[in-house]
Structure formats: structure tokens, C-alpha cells
Amino acid sequence: MLLQVAAVVSMNLRSLPQRFATSLVIVMGIAGVVAVLISVLSVATGLEHTLASTGRDDRAIILHRQSVDEVGSALPRAAVLTILDAPGIARGADGRPIASAEMLATINVPRRDNGQLGTLTLRGVSDDVLALRPELHLDSGRLFRSGLHELIAGRAAQDRYRGLEVGRHVQFGPAEWTVVGTFDSGGGAHDSELLADADTVLSAFQRTTFNSVTVRLAGAEGLARLTSALERDPTLSVIVRRESQYYEQQSQSFARLLTLIAHIVGTVMAIGAVFAALNTMYSAVASRTVEIATLRAIGFGSVPVVVSVITEALLLALCGAALGATVAWLLFDGNTVSTLAGNTGVAQIVFHLRIGAALIAVGVVWACAVGLIGGLLPALRAARLPVATALRAL
């Protein structure tokens, strides 16, 4: 049986060049499915990686109890002062809590690629933000000074938007702001933001409430102590979340949506590819009717014939998967894209698309499924072909 399978498969594969045009239909159809599927999934993968790089287990974020993200949260100054006095927060050598009461504002800045205005997040933070977030490293310039209209720009924001180089002036709101430095957070979401003094940002945008408070936790029990103190305080209405869990939750809903879209679009395209594969494989079987009947007549079983047709379909599917994955990787891997506010909990995140082995494996599985479905029915037809009827065509 194995020898028969090997012989029939080998014969079919040697005849592929004679059916190049029809075989190319299968390859191109499956390549399109794989390329679209991988490219859409890479958006979800890139966003998840960026948000995962932002949150840390040794930090906690405090929001208003009725909000699900920073954008929809509002904390008055009195609540912030109470939060900063709570137990469970690490303190520096000067005895001050390592924390930052933060306010978010959305501004419009021209993009580098087309000059059109794009939205960007201005985050007001405390002046000791570098102690709270040691992953932030100043690449050039210096840190902003309290009380002045100065800001530092994240590397991703600077790469995507114009006028954010050190020394440049940016006009938004009633004031002109000076870019005094650039920073890199190692691929986190803050790379997409501008950072400035929180009180100055509040004054410039005529706001009186902060969006959130981020704190460094004091030891393994810090989160439990902080949560107990704040969520039971009758004067407060807040929730406490470990920062890593917060950003993971923010990415999940958006990633699930993108994954659903990718699979819906992929399914629609896959149906078209299946019909193309069915048509091509039926034509291939029909063109080899006499050949298949002859093999059956000299003693070859139906199983080798079925295996040979399915093998051919799977081989073409793998070629399509390789082509589609290559196109997606060349066109999209490493590209910079952005997402607007909503499910991510921030005004906008700039991140890189990531196409790795896991996404390519997903594309290969889809391609094999399309090839298997497209080759199965023609294979069964070839196996059931009446030998005597086919040989009369000689």
C-alpha cells in the first residue's frame, strides 16, 4: 500500500508543470487568505505586546470606581491626596510616596507621512515620574520642569508625528509648549505619548480632576494593603488594579475584536479559495481519468488515488501559505500603526506590527484546511471512478 501511494503521488507531482496555470489559481487564492489573515492578526499581536510591555507587577493604578479605563476616570485633588497617604505605597529616601497623579489630554499634531492632523496623548505626570517608571530612559535633552510649558516626547510619537524634536515648539490649547527631551520606554504604550507636568497640564486645559494615580507598591503585600485601605474608605469611590493586569484587560477586548474580524474575513476568502481548489482539482481528476482507470485496472487500490489527489492539494496549499506569509511579512512586519481611544483606555497608541512564527503557523493551518477541503471531494470522485467506463475512452 505504501509503495502504491508513493508511486501515484510521485506521478501526480511530476505532472504538475503541465497544469501550472490551473494550479496557480489554488496557490494565489490561498496566498490571499493567508496574507490577509496574518496581517490583521498582526495588529492584535502588536497591540498586546505593546500593552504587556507597559504594565508592571510592582505598580498599581487607581481609577474611579465607575470607570473601566483612564479616559473615563476622574479623581478630584482631595481624593488624590488621600490616595497618596494610603499604606502599601513605596516611599523614596525623602519619605515621599513613589507615585504620580496623572491627567490625560488629547491633542492634534501633524503626521510625518501625509501632514494631516492626528491625535496624540499628552499625559500630565509628577516630576519624579522616572523614579516611578524606571523603564523610561531619556534619549536626549532633559526632563520637563514643574510650572513651565515643557514636555518630553516618546520615541514612537516622535517617529510618527512632526515637530516633536528637541527644541521645537508645539502649539495646542492656549499655550505654546517646548519639547525639551525625548524618551524611550522599551516598546511600551508610553512611547506613544507626550509627558509634561501634571499641574501645568491641568491649568492649560482648565481641568480640576486627575484621570488616575499610579503608585509603586511596597513589597509583596503592598497591593492587598493599598486595596483594603482605599476601597473601604467611605470618602473615596475608587478601584485598585495591578498595573500589569490593567493593561492586559485593556488589550483583550480590542485583540478579541481584531481576531474575530480576521477570522470572518479569512473565512469569506477561504470559501472562495475552496471553490477555486475544488474546480481546479476536479479538472485535474477529469484530465487524468484514463490514467487513474489504468492504474486501478493493473492493481492499484483506491486509497493511493485518494491520497495522491489530497497530497497534491495540500502541497499547493502549502505553497500558497508560504507565498501569503512572505508577502504579509515583507509588507507589514515592523510597520508602525496606531489605534484610537476606546477599548485601549488611552487616546492613541502607536505600535509596531509583529509577524512571528505563531501567526505564520496559524496561516499554515488555515491553508491546509482549505487544501484538504478542496481536495477531498475530487479525491473521492477519483477513487469511485468506474474502471470500465473510463477505459472505454481510450
Evaluate whether 56 touches 242 at the Cβ level (below 8 Å).
no
pLDDT at 41 over 60: yes
User: What is d(CA 163, CA 169) in angstroms, rounded to the nearest whole number?
Assistant: 7
Min mean pLDDT across 27-36, 56-65, 172-181, 301-310 is at 301-310
The 3-state DSSP composition of the chain as helix, strand, coil percent (nearest 5) reads 55, 20, 25
pLDDT in tens, 62-121: 999 988 888 889 999 999 999 999 999 999 988 899 999 999 988 888 888 788 888 888
- Domain ranges across the chain: 2-52+250-391, 66-236
Question: Quick one: which of 346, 278, 358 has its CA closest to 317?
Answer: 278
Query: pTM of the full predicted structure?
Result: 0.71
Residue keyed to cell 481536495 = 375
Greater model confidence, 49 or 373: 373
The 3-state DSSP class for residue 315 equals helix
- pLDDT by residue (tens digit) across 226-243? 999 998 888 899 999 999
